[in-house]
Each structure stands twice: as C-alpha cells, then as structure tokens.
C-alpha cells in the first residue's frame, strides 16, 4: 500500500477516537507455494461498512477469510503477519476459534441455511454458545435476530417451516439472522447478493445500512454500484495486493492509483 493511503487511514481513524475493531498488518497468505495475499495491512472500523473490490482471483475472499480464520479449514493455506480483534492476536494459540467465529461472523455468496426449521437455523448458534437461559429467552433471541435481519414479519407465522423452503433472498436474510443471533462484533459478507435478484439485493443493501454502526461490516462485491451504495470505506485489491484503501467517495471519484481507476471505470476485471 502506498504511504499516503496509510496516512489517510490513520487520520480517518483518529477522527472516530476509537481504536479500529480489527487491524491486519503485513498479512501474507499462501496456498502451498503459491502466494495469494501479499503484505496486506488494513484497519476495519466499527463505524463503517468496508467494501473489498477487485478483479476475480485477486484474493478478496482469501483475505476476508483470514479475518475469522476460515482459512484454517483449507489444509494448504498458511497465513503470516498479524491480525487483531480489539487488540488481541486472533492467530495466537490462546485464541478460541469457535468463539472467534461467533464474534466475527460470516455470510457466504450462496445462501446456506441448515436443513432445519427457520427457528432452529437462528437458535442453533445461541444454543451451542449457551446464550439463552430457557425457551422464552431463546424465543426472544430468535425474534430479535429475525427482526434485525428484516425477516420477522415474513416468517413469524411459519417459524417451524424449513429454512431451505424460502426464497433465495429470504434465505440470505435468514443466514444474516443466524450470524446476528450469536451477537457478533464483525460481520463478513462474501458477495452476499450475487445469487439474488435486484429486489432481494435491494433488501440486503437496506439491511446493511440498518446494521451499520452496530457491527463492523466487511462486504466483498463485484458490483461497483453496490460498493458505492453500501460502503463508506473501499479497499481495492489486485493480484493479491491492497492497491488502495480509502473513503468510498474518494476511491470512486478521485482514485490515486491508475490501477484503481482502470478497474472502477471498467477497463479490466
Ligand atoms: N482453496 C484454495 N486452494 C488453492 N488456491 C486457492 C484456494 N482458494 C483460492 N485460491 C487461489 O487464490 C487466489 C485468490 O483467490 P480468491 O478466491 O481469494 O479470489 P477472489 O478475489 O475472491 O476471486 P472471485 O472474485 O472470483 O471470488 C486465486 O489465484 C485462487 O485460485
Ligand atoms: Mg471470492
């Protein structure tokens, strides 16, 4: 990353007074001998939605997955550098990975509800993490999570129906409700709308607006308009490097790097 963008980043964070929720420093990711992420440093703040953009294969999903150690599930993957959550190294041996993934939740490209009822999809996480003290408490968690995900009114009379029987857009909001139910601090979304129609997409974007501030949100998207609509900070990745990171309005109207400009104006991708 160029020095000026690091300085801007620091200035942006100083304005908020709070330290960044997550800090990544000099992160490299290898799959076997192949390096997919090269020396990426970035801060993710609570107050912003951060968009990751860049051409296919540039490492957006790989880097996103380093933020909650989902790469641990890929045997060839090796991560070096430092990533902290509230100042704690998430790759330290003391870090409880199950707990980490509750604090840093993930929503995938393809909605993946469990083949269980709508209620159970949301209740599952709170149950395994022991967050509910009884049935009434669990009911309240399920309702609150579904409300926050903008789904309650559509499903309140069919909570026992299968989560997989809903529309794609509803399934994706159910997956967001499932992530929210364990009270995460960060929500990572990897192209959450790419399998959805424009109406369902608009609902997810609206939801992201509503969730902003309550959770630190990172969204990977190929859709430039979506990045411009939902995010306040944008990171442009290219060939495994973070080329530019700054305010979304700046990145889209006045990018500093030629490669960023070429990408956002559709010259390659
Ligand atoms: N499990 C894996 N094993 C080996 N190589 C991988 C694996 N996952 C990703 N890669 C490689 O790492 C590089 C980055 O891939 P990644 O999926 O992170 O890109 P991306 O920016 O998310 O792309 P897209 O926009 O197509 O989703 C690519 O060269 C890809 O082939
Ligand atoms: Mg990807």
Pairing of strands 77-85, 49-53: unpaired
pLDDT at 267: 78
Going by pLDDT thresholds of 50, 70 and 90, the confidence category of residue 17 is low
- pLDDT for 39: 98
Taking the C-alpha atoms of residue 208 and residue 231, their distance in angstroms, rounded to an integer, is 9
Collect all residues with Cβ–Cβ distance below 8 Å to 20 and sequence separation of at least 6. Answer: 13, 43, 44, 45, 46
Query: CA 73 to CA 76: how far, in whole Å?
Result: 9
Helix axis angle, 135-148 relative to 118-128, nearest 10°?
Answer: 110
Mean pLDDT of 31-56: 97
Neighbour-count burial of 8, counting CB atoms closer than 10 A to its CB (0-12 exposed, 13-18 middle, 19+ buried): middle
Instruction: Provide the angle, in degrees to the nearest 10, between the axes of the packed helices 198-211 and 168-181.
Output: 20
* Cβ-contact 215, 186 below 8 angstroms: yes
Q: Name the average pLDDT for the chain.
A: 92
Q: Tell me if 52 sits within 8 A of 63, measured CB to CB.
A: yes
CA–CA dist 189, 108 (Å, integer): 6
77-85 and 22-31 strand pairing: antiparallel
What is the average pLDDT across 209-213? 93
CA of 35 to the centre of ligand 1 (A): 10
CA distance linking residue 33 with residue 76, whole number of Å? 9
Q: What's the pLDDT at 49?
A: 97
Instruction: Inform me whether the pLDDT recorded for 13 exceeds 60.
Output: no
- Mean pLDDT along residues 179-183: 95
Closest by Cα among 109, 129, 227 to 175: 109
- The pLDDT tens digits for 108-164 are 999 999 999 999 999 999 999 999 999 999 999 999 999 999 999 999 999 999 999
**Which residues contact ligand 1 via a Cβ below 6 A?**
31, 36, 54, 56-62, 74, 76
Residue range 69-96, pLDDT digits in tens: 999 999 999 999 999 999 999 999 999 9
Give pLDDT tens digits for 246-263: 999 999 999 999 999 999
Fold type of domain 3-264: Rossmann fold (3.40.50)
CA of 61 to the centre of ligand 1 (A): 7
Mutate which of 27, 28, 31 for ligand 1? The one with the most ligand atoms within 8 Å of its CB, which is: 31
Tell me the domain boundaries of the chain.
Answer: 3-264
């Amino acid at each position: 990353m160029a020095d000026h963008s690091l300085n801007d980043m620091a200035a942006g964070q100083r304005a908020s007074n709070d330290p960044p929720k997550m800090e990544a420093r000099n992160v490299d990711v290898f799959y076997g001998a192949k390096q997919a992420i090269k020396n990426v440093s970035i801060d993710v703040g609570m107050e912003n939605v951060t968009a990751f953009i860049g051409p296919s294969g540039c490492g957006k999903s790989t880097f996103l997955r380093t933020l909650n150690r989902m790469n641990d599930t890929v045997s060839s993957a090796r991560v070096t550098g430092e990533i902290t959550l509230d100042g704690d190294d998430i790759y330290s041996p003391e870090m409880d990975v199950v707990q980490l993934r509750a604090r840093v939740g993930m929503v995938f490209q393809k909605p993946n509800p469990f083949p269980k009822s709508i209620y159970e999809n949301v209740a599952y996480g709170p149950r395994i993490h022991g967050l509910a003290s009884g049935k009434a408490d669990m009911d309240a968690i399920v309702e609150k999570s579904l409300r926050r995900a903008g789904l309650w009114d559509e499903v309140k009379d069919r909570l026992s129906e299968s989560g997989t029987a809903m529309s794609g857009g509803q399934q994706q909001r159910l997956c967001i409700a499932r992530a929210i139910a364990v009270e995460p601090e960060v929500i990572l979304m990897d192209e959450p709308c790419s399998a959805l129609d424009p109406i369902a997409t608009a609902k997810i974007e609206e939801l992201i607006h509503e969730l902003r501030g309550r959770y630190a949100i990172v969204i990977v998207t190929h859709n430039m308009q979506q990045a411009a609509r939902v995010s306040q900070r944008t990171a442009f990745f290219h060939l495994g490097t973070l080329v530019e990171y700054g305010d979304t309005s700046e990145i889209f109207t006045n990018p500093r790097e030629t490669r960023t400009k070429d990408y956002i104006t559709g010259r390659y991708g």
